[in-house]
Structure 1
Amino acid sequence: MAAILQTLTIVVLLGYPFAVYFGLQYLPANSVAMLLAALLLLRLMLQKQQVKALIAPIVLGLALTLGSAIAKQQDWLLFYPLVINGAMLVLFGGSLWRTPCMVERLARITEPDLPDSARPYLCKVTLLWCGLFVLNGAAALYTALWSSIETWTLYNGLIAYLLIGTLAGGEWLYRHFYLKSS
């Protein structure tokens, strides 16, 4: 049952921008904030010690959603993508000061026999991810402060995921062929 709830919360939180958009359009005031807060609380309880780095953004999201409901400020819900990008920037950026860097850790999950010569490349890719998180965070902040809810939803619910998927897929393909040829 926990696995089903965990999967459900992941799917809903990935769809957070759409949940906010439709919730603000069709649900009574503050109900979307309370619903999202409940999902984040459930996610936090299910998280346990699996990935400690994900606890902080969940707690910050919980604070944003509960604060939004209490203060009756629905626009606070728009800042969660900024929190996620900031958390990922800290996670990836912090890994540059200790080995292995984040992309190397992720790469070794599927390719444990990576040569040591790949480390500089993987650190550069980690730096590239940091740049993407800065760009996404800036766009998330811009759309939260100065654009319509439709633009915010489009960027944070689709374009940001397309950018992340393109970088992840493109880098994996490049690494797969780059490392195999070297």
Structure 2
Amino acid sequence: MTGLGLLLVGLAYPFAVYLGLEHLSPRLFAVLLGALWVAKLLSGKQTPLNYTMAASALLFCLLLGLAGEPALLRWYPVLISLALFGLFAGSLCTGMPIIERLARLSEPDLPPAAIRYTRQVTWVWLGYFIINAGIASGLALWAPLSWWTLYTGLIAYLLMGLLFAGEWCVRQRIRNAT
């Protein structure tokens, strides 16, 4: 249940910042967001993804809570992209890449070609996460709040959806060719 809560908060976060910045303290954002991440850590089975994301988010919440600086609110999407980048990159170096793990959920016995493909897809996601973090950083530093909100609350998710859909199409084409 907390996973769903975090997902919904993640989706709504840019809009909450946009609408609530004038009325809510950054410290309140830190407490609410931090409480969700602590609840996530205390519930259910923990994975490296959960620990990495929770540790990153809780450090952010601590910094936000201590500083109370409204401008820091814009850096949460950057942090999440960089944490995911680190997690995906780490998975390439130590054991099985994350995309391969996900693929094995539906197809446990992957052929060698599929294993190579999942490694390539992991690299593509690394590119997405670093580009997304760069764009969100630039918007956090130099753009009006409305532009930041539009990108982090809508455009980034549309781009992610396009990447999912594009990868699915490529995967189907590769499967049909073999």
5+ residue gaps in structure 2? none
Find the counterpart in structure 2 of residue 145 from structure 1. Answer: 141
Question: Per the alignment, in what secondary structure is the counterpart of residue 87 of structure 1?
Answer: helix
Is the CA contact 1:65–1:76 (under 8 Å) kept in the aligned structure 2? no
Alpha-carbon shift at residue 127 of structure 1 (Å): 0.9
Pairing 1:115–2:111 present: yes
Give me the TM-score of the superposition, normalised by structure 1.
0.84
Aligned match for 1:166, one of 141, 162, 175 = 162
Amino acid at match of 1:13: G
Superposed counterparts of 1:7-156, under 5 Å: 7-28=4-25, 30-46=27-43, 48-156=44-152
The one-letter amino acid of 1:63's match is L
Cα distance change on mapping 1:100 and 1:158 into 2, 3 Å: same
- 1:30-88 deviation per Cα after TM superposition (whole angstroms, max 9, x unaligned): 43333223223323323x54322232332332232333233220111211111111111
CA distance in 1, matches of 2:58, 2:96: 31
Deviates more, 1:6-15 or 1:127-136: 6-15
CA distance in 2, matches of 1:26, 1:127: 41
**Cα RMSD, aligned residues only:** 2.1
Aligned to 1:176, the other structure's residue is in SS state: helix
Q: CA deviation at 1:162?
A: 1.1
Taking structure 2 as the reference length, the TM-score comes to 0.86
Deviation at 1:154, TM superposition (A): 1.1
The runs of 5 or more residues in structure 1 that have no matched partner are: none
Report the Cα distance in structure 1 between the residues aligned to 2:122 and 2:169, rounded to whole angstroms. Answer: 16
CA 1:49 to 1:179, structure 2 compared with 1: closer, same or farther past 3 Å? same
Percent of aligned positions that are identical: 39
Q: Report deviation, 1:28.
A: 5.0
